[in-house]
Structure 1
Amino acid sequence: MLKNQGLYHYLTERTWELTEKWYEGLDKNKGGVYSSTDPEKIETLKHQNHEFHVRFCAMFEKDKEEFFAGFQDWIETIAKDEDHLSTPVVSVLGEFFRTQEQYLEMIGSYAKENEDTVSIEQLNEWNLAVVNSISSVILEFTSQNTKAAQDRLHAQQQMIVEMSAPVILLTKHSGFLPLIGEITTHRAQIVFEKTLRQSAKHNIEKLFIDLSGVPIIDTMVAQQVFQLINGLKIIGVKTALSGLSPVIAQTAVHLGIKFVDIEVYNTLAQALKENGISLIDG
């Protein structure tokens, strides 16, 4: 029988001892959260570890379903914790296995102190339960941590994409949109939406779009760029294109795109000069 009040109380009375011994034996060169020298972060790490023990010891008091249900919030918190997300997963998993060894050792000590009442079969059952429970926690943590890491990466990519399409005010009613790097279909859609919003917000009457930093563009993205130009036209914004590479120009021709009502210049400097805009004071 897995439930055992004696073992449960034996372990719960030593949860802080488990935490302190765990931290004492921690390899501080692992990187991430485990290498922090910030007293506040160290204290947080210890409390997180202690909360694990409080929940884990409950396996010897609660039913299996209730035990794992009580673990979900801890797993989710650690999996989404920024410091743990910045720590190599292999290092985190290594600490789970080190904790497993702590429990096997402590349960062994309890069995030795109570050898008259604890059989070998009972000890083996407890040890197997510890190993299986740690494995289940690891699987759930890995799943949630992977999802949290993917969500964070997506959010970072989204932020980078949005920051890479700024509409810069040149004068009271003119703006500049520099497009740099590879333009994917996803990025083109964000540029489209953000540029329309910013142009309307700043009452821009003319927008200079520079493509000199774009090495190559596919047909789908080219269509979105020219849809942007049409969208700007609808809200009353004139456009001027500069920096079109031969590849981009050829793509536009293949698409049958005509540069009607669109000013096209070789360089941004030429476009600004032709429109009487100077960025140099004095």
Structure 2
Amino acid sequence: MKVSEKFYEFMKERTWQLTEKWYESLDKSDPSGVYASKDTKVIQTLKEQNHAFHERFCHLFKDVGQDRLCNFELWIEEIAKDEEHLQTPTHFILREFFRTQDQYLAILKEFIRLHGSEFTLDETEFLRELIINTFSIVISKFAEENYEYSQRRLKAQQEMIRELSSPVILLNKKTGVLPLVGDIDTGRARYILENTLNECVDKNVEHLFIDLSGVIMVDTMVAHQLFQIIESLNLIGVRSTISGIRPEIAQTAIQLGISFENISVTSTLERALNEQQ
């Protein structure tokens, strides 16, 4: 029997034992993440995920010629997009990969102690290299997948924040208000422009009040884009009234050569709404 086949037989009987030992030795004092969970369902899922890894890893020794990455792709994808793991710091997850690798090296050491006389040093060294190289491949692929899913998740969260931070609120059937709050960078300004135009069209807004009293600071590029919103609204037939312009924003607009001649401006949103009535 080949050394890999012998090790496969040795390993397949110990997969659940590996999982239980791994969880028992797990540092459950992490400040956050899946490994610190006390939820029994989360813990059971975590153990099942760990055991599924062992089953795939064990199978490598039965067929050493197979594509090692292919054997783990579905498992890696599942873990990388798993919500509990996405909420776990990546260095905690990598720590557990290396702890699991240590488990395999320890069990290989036990295998050599019991069966080493049956095989050459090169044969047992082959097993050690297979373990280390496979972990390297899996960890690298997981890090790549985890990063991609994290970026998608972050982008989705940013989109949601942008939507919530620049809503067109209807005051009546034809009038809306756009309250802007916080710092506005170029990316957010671009989103506000696109979103505001779309919302005004969708909601049939004819008069939009844009309140800037909550905007602390903008740079020259952003100021230019904000006033582009007014020009764009005018092109689609929406009248605009600006309220709450801070002195520094007004100065930036003047420096840019932006004319307020055809723009309705009031000091406060309350005053703008009263005048509209």
Q: TM-score range by the shorter chain?
A: over 0.9
Per the TM alignment, residue 118 of structure 1 is displaced from its structure 2 partner at its CA by 2.7
2:49 maps to amino acid: Q
Unaligned runs of 5+ in 2: none
* Runs of 4 or more above 4 Å deviation: none
Contact kept in structure 2, 1:2 and 1:60, CA below 8 Å? no
Q: Distance in 2 between matches of 1:185 and 1:94?
A: 38
* Superposition TM-score, scaled by structure 1 size: 0.91
Q: Deviations over 1:233-282 (max 9, x none)?
A: 12221111011112211222222222233210111111111112xxxxxx
Matched, 1:219 2:220: yes
Aligned pairs, number: 276
Quote how far apart the aligned CAs of 1:62 are: 2.6
Cα distance in 2 between the residues matched to 1:203 and 1:3 = 74
Contact 1:209 1:242 in 2 (8 A): yes
Q: Would you say the 8 A contact 2:3–2:124 is kept in 1?
A: no
Counterpart in the other structure of 1:25: 25
The 5 A counterparts of 1:78-157 are 78-157=79-158
CA distance in 1 between partners of 2:119 and 2:112 (Å):
6
Per-residue CA shift, 1:5-54, capped at 9, x if unaligned? 12112212221121112112212112310111222111111111111111
| Cα distance in 2, alignment partners of residues 63 and 130 from structure 1 | 11
**1:136 Cα deviation after fit:** 2.3
Provide the C-alpha distance between the structure 2 equivalents of 1:185 and 1:144, rounded to a whole number of angstroms. 29
Q: Please say if 1:248 is aligned against 2:244.
A: no
Displacement of 1:65:
5.3
Q: CA 1:60–1:204 in 2, change beyond 3 Å: closer, same or farther?
A: same
1:14 aligns with 2:8: no
Aligned-partner residue type, residue 154 of structure 1: K
Pick which of 221-230 and 115-124 moved more: 115-124
Q: 1:69 to 1:3 in 2, by over 3 A?
A: farther
Query: 3-state SS of the aligned residue for 1:211?
Result: strand
Q: Give the fraction of aligned pairs with identical amino acids, expressed as a percent.
A: 48
Query: Which position in structure 1 is the counterpart of 2:263?
Result: 262
Contact 2:184 2:215 in 1 (8 A): yes
Cα distance in structure 2, aligned partners of 1:47 and 1:245: 57
Matching residue of 2:237: 236
